[in-house]
Amino acid sequence: MKTTTRPPSRAPFVRAMFGRIAGRYDFMNTLMTGGRHHAWRRLAVRRARPAGGRALDVCCGTGDFALELARQGATAVVGVDFSREMLALAARKAQAVGLGDHVQWQLADALELPFPDGAFLSATTGFSLRNVDDVGRAVNPMIIDGQVHGGIAQGVGQALLEQCFYDSATGQLLSGSFMDYSMPRAHNFPFFATQISEVPSPTHPLGMRPAGEGGTTPALGVVINAVVDALSDFGVRHIEMPATPERVWRAIRGGQTLPPSVSTNR
């Protein structure tokens, strides 16, 4: 099997951006999650079961996941990030809570990790989105990357935002323009890192496979399962797509339904 891995061309821009926001990164996480990221992180690390072995945290940012791995019994933790500023903050945090000797901070790219297979008992990544697509023979890798990015956006849009609304009394479409129909936009997403695994198709003369929908299908399950997992402390086991803020709020409130005075389908 031939595997082609290409660091994203925007890596210097992304690295510089994260360096600029490093000092406000923790505040932003708390603000955007309403403080829930602490509980989510503890739950994610419990499920990783790091106790008794070496643990790896990829795209570690300011180190919260890596420090939680150390708290939950990992014998040694390596936090990897490509931002020097983020790693410097992580190192100061570790010293402040007495875990400076338990965690090693390493500057590296998540797409080219400098570790052999089997080096860690557990691995986590809390602040990254990765997509690996088997497209057969990659004739034009740049187009494939664009198609995969678009596919991810389409899947996330369906999972969180997009819905047709009709007035139940008249059948009138209420979301007939992009002023009313919620489409995913660039600010709704992190930066994507894509990889292409080239396994030529035996049924195509050029060895190619389709790539356009590679990101769409998994995005639906990944996003909705992440929402349900995040809400599990509230007893939520299922939520319908799109998981809008209103639906999330109603799920937290015990599955409250819309009042009968609301005549639109939701």
Q: Residue 18: which domain range?
A: 2-124
Give how many domains the chain has, as a whole number. Answer: 2
Six-digit token string for 105: 């901070």
Give the pLDDT mean for 51-56. Answer: 92
- Predicted local distance difference test score (pLDDT) of residue 64: 93
Do 138 and 105 belong to one domain? no
Per-residue pLDDT for 239 more than 50?
A: yes
Helix then strand count (H, E) for the chain reads: 8, 7
- The amino acid that residue 255 corresponds to is G
Do 119 and 135 belong to one domain? no
- Quote the CA–CA distance of 237 and 228 in Å, as a whole number: 6
Do 100 and 200 belong to one domain? no
- Quote the CA–CA distance of 43 and 184 in Å, as a whole number: 28
**pLDDT: is 3 or 105 the higher one?**
105
Six-digit token string for 90: 């992580």
Each as own residue / partner, the long-range contacts of residues 114-121 (CB below 8 Å, 24 or more positions apart, any chain) are 115/56, 115/78, 119/54, 119/56, 120/53, 120/54, 120/55, 120/56, 120/78, 121/49, 121/50, 121/52, 121/53, 121/54, 121/55, 121/74
- Quote the CA–CA distance of 121 and 51 in Å, as a whole number: 9
- Predicted local distance difference test score (pLDDT) of residue 90: 95
Residue 266 lies in a domain: no
- Quote the CA–CA distance of 77 and 69 in Å, as a whole number: 7
Do 22 and 39 belong to one domain? yes
Residue 19 lies in a domain: yes
Share of the chain above pLDDT 90, in %: 26
Do 37 and 120 belong to one domain? yes
Nearest residue to 223 via CA among 158, 159, 151: 159
Do 38 and 144 belong to one domain? no
C-alpha neighbours within 13 Å on the C-beta side of residue 165: 17
Residue 257 lies in a domain: no
Give the pLDDT mean for 63-92. Answer: 94
Residue 262 lies in a domain: no
- β partners of residue 199: none
Domain boundary among 89, 124, 159: 124
Per-residue pLDDT for 264 more than 60?
A: no
Q: How confident is the model at residue 1 (pLDDT cuts 50, 70, 90)?
A: very low
Residue pair 161/242 in contact (Cβ under 8 Å)? The answer is yes
DSSP assignment string, 50-107: -TTSEEEEES-TTSHHHHHHHHTT-SEEEEEES-HHHHHHHHHHHHHTT-TTTEEEEE
pLDDT in tens, 171-183: 899 888 888 888 8
